[in-house]
C-alpha cells in the first residue's frame, strides 16, 4: 500500500535524522481502517478532473496559479507551507492534505492507540517535529516500586523538556504568553477592520504572542514533553495498575477537595500525584496537580482538569480508567495546554464534558489533548473548544460510541495562527453542532433590523475543520503588516451515520491563509451549514471537503457560497465520492463549484442518482477565476432556481459560463 510505504519512509527518515530520538514502531491498523485508507480519493478522481480542466480551462488555471506564486509575499505573518504550497499548486497541495489526514486517521484507529506517534504525525503538517528524545521504558508487571518510579521519571522528563522549550524566555515573557492565552480564548476574532485604542492594543498583543511562540519558544521540546506524558496512557500498563495499589490510604492523607477512596498520594516537585480508587470519587483540587489517575467508578471533576495550572506548573495529566464521568471545567480548564501540556485520557463509560472557553483539547501556546476511547459521550462547549489551537496543538480523539459535540464557535477542529486543531472520531453515529451564539458581522449591512432567531439573522462558527488567521483590514500598511496567517483545522470521522450542523464559515473552511479539512470516510451523513460551508475558502484560504461513501444529504440556510467555493485568491475542492445517491438542497444558497476574485474551486460528485436544487452556481466564475462542477456518473435531477440565462443543467451535457467556467455531467 502506498500510504503504508510512505509512512514507513517518514518514520525511517525521522529515526536516521534524530540520533537518539526514538519513535515507536507504527501500530497495525484495525481491519476496518486498512481497506478504506488504501488510496486517496484525489488520486482516483484527480486525473479525470485534471484532464477535463486542461481541455477546457487551462488558461484560467495557469493564470490563477501564476498569480498565486506571490502568495508568500502578501502581508500576513507566519504563513504555513502547507497553505502556500496548495495556493501555488492546488493538485499537489490538496493531495498532501488528504494524505496527511488519512495517515493521522490510520494511527488513531490502531489498537492499542499509540498517542506519542500520532502527535508527531499530526505536527508534520505544520513543519514541526519533536526534539530528540528517548521515551521512558514502560514497566511490565504490577510492582508498586516500579510503577511509582515510572510515574516519577515520566513527569520529570516531561518537565525537563518543557523547561528547555521555555529557556529563552524571560519570566515576564512567560507570564505574558500564559495570560494572553486566556485573552485569545475569550476574544479571538479572525478580522479586525476598525482601529481604536482597544483593537490596536489587541493587534499588538496578538503579534507579540505569535512572535514569541515562533521565535523564542523551542516548540519541538513542547511536543517532546507531550509525547513523554502520553506514555502514561499505555493500555497494558494501565490494565495492571490497580494491582500495584490494592489498599486505600488513610482518610487523613486525602487532600482537600477530594472525596472517595484514594490509593496513593504524593506531593511531587511537578505537583500533586493522586491515584483514586475504583469507586465514585469527586475531584476539585486547589493548587497544581501533576497527575490524577482514577481506577474506576462514576466520578466528577471540577476546576482545572488535566490543564496547565500556572507559569511554573505547565504540565498536567488526568487519566480515568472507567465509569460514567462528569467533567465540569473552569475556563481553560479541561485538557488545555498553555506553555506546557494538558492531557486528559478517559478509558470507558458514557461521559459528559462541560467545556468552558479554551478547554476540551485546546492548545494556546502549548498542547492540549483529550482522548476518550469508549462510550456514548457528550461534549458541550463554549468558544475555542474541542480540538482547537492558536500557537500550539489542540486534539480531541474519540474512538467509540454515538457522540454529541456542540460549541459556540472556533471549535471542533479549529486552527488559528500557528495552531493545529484536530478532532478525530473513529466510530459511531455522531452529531456535530457549531454556531447559533456568535452574531455575524454580515448582519450590520445585510439585515440591520433582524434580531437573533429571525430567519435572516446570521451567526458565525469557524469550526468543523476550519483554519483562520487574524486579518487586519485597513488602508494603513503598518497595521496591515500586523496580520497573522491562519493555521490548520481538521475534522475526521471514520464511520457512522453522522449529522453536521453549523453556521457561517464551517465544514472544511479556510480563511486568510488558513487551511480547513473535513474528511468523512463512511456512512449516510447529513450536512447542514450556512454561508461559506461544505468546502469553502476566502482571502488566500485553502479548503478540502471529502465524503468518501454513503447516501448523503446537504443543505444550507445560505445566503451564499456552499460546496466547493473560493473567494479572493483561495483554493477549494469539495468531493462526494463513491456511488451514493446524494441530495443537495441549496434552495437558499449559491455554489457547487463557484469562484470569484481569482479563486480556484471544484465541486465533484463521483457517482449515484443525485438530486441538485441550487439557487445559482454550477461552475460560475467572475474576475479571472476557475470553477468547475463535475458529476461523473448517474442519472441526476437538476433544478437551477436562477443564474445564467439559457443555462439549464442536465445529464450528459457540457456547458461553459465563460472563461474558466465549466459544467459537465457525464
Instruction: Give residue limits of the domains in the chain.
Output: 142-188+196-398, 419-497+507-666
Residue 649 CA to residue 13 CA, distance in Å, equals 50
Question: φ, ψ for residue 224 (rounded to 5)?
Answer: -60, -40
Residues 322 and 294: beta-carbon distance below 8 Å: no
Residue 474 CA to residue 67 CA, distance in Å, equals 23
Compute the average pLDDT of residues 23-47: 61
DSSP designation for 439 = E
What's the pLDDT score for residue 3? 37
How does residue 22 score in pLDDT terms, banded at 50, 70 and 90? Answer: very low
Residues forming beta bridges with residue 665, ordered by sequence position: 631, 653
pLDDT tens digits, residue range 264-279? 999 999 999 999 999 9
> Residue for cell digits 480548564?
333
Of 19-28, 200-209, 309-318, 462-471, least confident by mean pLDDT is 19-28
Pairing mode, strands 326-334 and 352-355:
parallel
Residues forming beta bridges with residue 380, ordered by sequence position: 354, 406
The answer on pLDDT for 454 being more than 50 is yes
What's the pLDDT score for residue 574? 98
Average pLDDT score, the chain = 93
Residue 55 CA to residue 59 CA, distance in Å, equals 10
C-alpha cell at 432: 456535530
Residues forming beta bridges with residue 650, ordered by sequence position: none
Of 33-37, 257-261, 501-505, 543-547, least confident by mean pLDDT is 33-37
How does residue 298 score in pLDDT terms, banded at 50, 70 and 90? Answer: very high
Planar angle of CA 258, 262, 266, nearest 5 degrees: 85
pLDDT tens digits, residue range 394-452? 999 999 999 999 999 999 999 999 999 999 999 999 999 999 999 999 999 999 999 99
What's the pLDDT score for residue 353? 98
Q: Helices 144-165 and 219-230: crossing angle, nearest 10°? A: 170
Under DSSP, is residue 454 helix (H, G, I), strand (E, B) or coil?
Answer: coil
How does residue 547 score in pLDDT terms, banded at 50, 70 and 90? Answer: very high
Planar angle of CA 278, 305, 299, nearest 5 degrees: 30
CA-closest candidate to residue 544, choices 456, 413, 648, 450 = 413
Span between the terminal Cα atoms of the chain, in Å: 30
Compute the average pLDDT of residues 293-308: 98
DSSP designation for 232 = G
pTM reported for the whole predicted model: 0.94
Compute the average pLDDT of residues 494-523: 98
What's the pLDDT score for residue 37? 61
Of 358-367, 582-591, 642-651, least confident by mean pLDDT is 642-651
Q: Cis omega (within 30 of 0) on the bond before 239?
A: no
Residues 569 and 543: beta-carbon distance below 8 Å: no
DSSP designation for 539 = S
pLDDT tens digits, residue range 161-183? 999 999 999 999 999 999 999 99
Residues 26 and 8: beta-carbon distance below 8 Å: yes
DSSP designation for 256 = T
Characterise 173 by phi-psi region: left (phi > 0), alpha (psi -120 to 50), beta (else).
alpha
DSSP one-letter string for 248-316: PPPGGGSPTTEES-EEEEEEETTEEEEEE-SS--EE---S-EEEEEE-SSS-EEEEEESS--SSS---E
Under DSSP, is residue 117 helix (H, G, I), strand (E, B) or coil?
Answer: helix
Under DSSP, is residue 175 helix (H, G, I), strand (E, B) or coil?
Answer: helix
Residues of the chain with pLDDT > 70: what percent?
94
DSSP one-letter string for 470-490: BEE-SS-HHHHTT-B---EEE
C-alpha cell at 621: 466564475
How does residue 26 score in pLDDT terms, banded at 50, 70 and 90? Answer: very low
DSSP designation for 194 = S
Residues 383 and 359: beta-carbon distance below 8 Å: no
Characterise 297 by phi-psi region: left (phi > 0), alpha (psi -120 to 50), beta (else).
left
Planar angle of CA 87, 205, 339, nearest 5 degrees: 85
> Could you tell me where the DSSP H helices lie in 216-280?
219-230, 235-239, 241-244
pLDDT tens digits, residue range 1-18? 333 334 333 333 333 333
Compute the average pLDDT of residues 277-298: 97
Residue 458 CA to residue 207 CA, distance in Å, equals 29
CA-closest candidate to residue 350, choices 385, 301, 400 = 400
What's the pLDDT score for residue 14? 37
Burial class of residue 444 in the structure, from the number of CB atoms within 10 Å of its CB (0-12 exposed, 13-18 middle, 19+ buried): exposed
CA-closest candidate to residue 350, choices 328, 377, 372, 382 = 377
Amino acid at each position: 500500500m502506498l500510504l503504508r510505504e510512505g509512512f514507513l519512509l517518514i518514520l525511517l527518515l525521522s529515526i536516521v535524522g534524530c540520533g537518539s530520538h526514538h519513535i515507536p514502531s507504527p501500530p497495525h491498523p484495525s481491519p476496518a481502517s486498512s481497506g478504506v485508507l488504501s488510496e486517496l480519493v484525489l488520486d482516483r478522481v484527480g486525473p479525470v478532473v485534471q484532464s477535463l480542466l486542461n481541455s477546457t480551462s487551462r488558461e484560467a488555471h495557469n493564470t490563477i496559479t501564476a498569480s498565486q506564486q506571490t502568495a508568500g509575499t502578501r502581508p500576513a505573518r507566519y504563513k504555513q507551507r502547507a497553505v502556500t504550497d496548495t495556493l501555488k499548486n492546488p493538485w499537489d497541495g490538496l493531495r498532501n492534505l488528504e494524505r496527511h489526514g488519512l495517515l493521522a486517521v490510520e494511527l488513531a484507529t490502531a489498537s492499542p492507540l499509540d498517542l506519542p506517534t500520532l502527535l508527531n504525525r499530526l505536527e508534520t503538517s505544520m513543519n514541526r517535529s519533536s526534539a530528540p528524545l528517548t521515551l521512558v521504558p514502560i514497566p511490565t508487571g504490577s510492582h508498586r516500586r516500579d510503577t511509582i518510579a515510572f510515574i516519577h521519571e515520566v513527569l520529570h522528563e516531561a518537565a525537563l523538556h518543557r523547561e528547555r522549550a521555555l529557556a529563552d524566555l524571560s519570566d515576564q515573557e512567560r507570564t505574558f504568553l500564559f495570560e494572553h492565552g486566556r485573552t485569545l480564548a475569550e476574544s479571538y476574532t479572525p478580522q479586525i477592520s476598525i482601529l481604536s485604542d482597544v483593537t490596536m492594543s489587541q493587534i499588538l498583543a496578538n503579534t507579540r504572542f505569535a512572535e514569541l511562540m515562533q521565535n523564542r519558544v523551542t516548540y519541538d521540546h513542547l511536543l517532546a514533553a507531550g509525547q513523554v506524558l502520553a506514555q502514561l496512557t499505555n493500555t497494558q500498563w494501565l490494565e495492571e495498575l490497580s494491582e500495584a495499589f490494592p489498599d486505600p490510604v488513610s482518610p487523613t492523607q486525602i487532600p482537600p477537595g477530594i472525596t472517595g477512596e484514594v490509593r496513593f498520594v504524593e506531593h511531587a516537585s511537578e505537583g500533586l500525584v493522586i491515584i483514586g480508587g475504583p469507586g465514585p470519587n469527586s475531584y476539585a483540587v486547589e493548587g497544581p496537580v501533576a497527575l490524577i489517575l482514577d481506577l474506576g467508578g462514576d466520578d466528577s471533576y471540577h476546576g482545572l482538569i488535566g490543564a496547565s495550572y500556572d507559569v511554573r506548573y505547565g504540565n498536567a495529566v488526568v487519566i480515568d480508567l472507567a465509569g460514567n464521568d462528569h467533567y465540569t471545567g473552569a475556563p481553560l480548564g479541561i485538557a488545555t495546554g498553555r506553555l506546557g501540556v494538558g492531557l486528559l485520557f478517559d478509558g470507558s463509560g458514557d461521559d459528559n464534558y462541560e467545556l468552558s472557553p479554551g478547554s476540551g483539547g485546546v492548545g494556546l501556546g502549548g498542547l492540549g489533548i483529550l482522548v476518550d476511547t469508549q462510550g456514548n459521550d457528550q461534549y458541550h462547549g463554549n468558544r475555542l473548544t474541542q480540538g482547537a489551537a492558536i500557537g500550539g496543538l489542540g486534539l480531541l480523539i474519540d474512538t467509540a460510541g454515538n457522540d454529541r459535540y456542540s460549541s459556540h464557535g472556533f471549535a471542533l477542529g479549529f486552527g488559528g495562527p500557528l495552531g493545529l486543531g484536530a478532532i478525530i472520531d473513529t466510530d459511531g453515529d455522531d452529531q456535530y453542532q457549531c454556531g447559533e451564539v456568535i452574531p455575524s458581522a454580515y448582519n450590520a449591512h445585510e439585515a440591520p433590523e433582524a434580531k437573533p432567531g429571525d430567519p435572516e439573522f446570521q451567526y458565525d462558527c469557524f469550526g468543523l475543520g476550519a483554519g483562520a488567521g487574524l486579518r487586519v483590514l485597513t488602508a494603513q500598511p503598518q497595521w496591515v503588516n500586523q496580520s497573522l496567517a491562519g493555521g490548520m483545522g481538521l475534522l475526521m470521522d471514520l464511520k457512522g451515520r453522522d449529522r453536521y450542523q453549523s453556521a457561517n464559515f464551517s465544514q472544511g473552511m479556510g480563511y486568510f491563509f488558513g487551511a480547513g479539512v473535513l474528511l468523512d470516510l463512511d456512512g449516510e451523513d447529513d450536512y447542514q451549514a450556512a454561508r461559506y460551508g461544505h468546502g469553502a475558502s476566502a482571502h488566500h484560504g485553502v479548503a478540502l471537503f471529502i465524503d468518501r461513501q454513503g447516501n448523503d444529504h446537504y443543505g444550507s440556510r445560505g445566503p451564499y457560497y456552499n460546496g466547493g467555493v473560493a473567494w479572493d485568491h483561495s483554493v477549494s475542492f469539495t468531493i462526494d465520492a463513491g456511488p451514493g445517491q446524494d441530495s443537495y438542497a441549496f434552495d437558499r444558497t449559491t455554489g457547487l463549484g463557484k469562484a470569484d476574485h481569482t479563486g480556484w474551486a471544484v465541486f465533484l460528485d463521483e457517482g449515484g442518482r443525485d438530486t441538485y436544487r441550487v439557487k445559482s452556481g454550477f461552475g460560475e466564475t467572475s474576475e479571472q477565476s476557475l470553477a468547475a462542477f463535475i458529476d461523473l456518473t448517474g442519472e441526476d435531477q437538476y433544478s437551477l432556481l436562477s443564474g445564467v440565462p439559457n443555462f439549464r443543467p442536465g445529464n450528459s451535457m457540457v456547458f461553459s459560463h465563460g472563461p474558466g467556467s465549466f459544467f459537465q455531467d457525464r
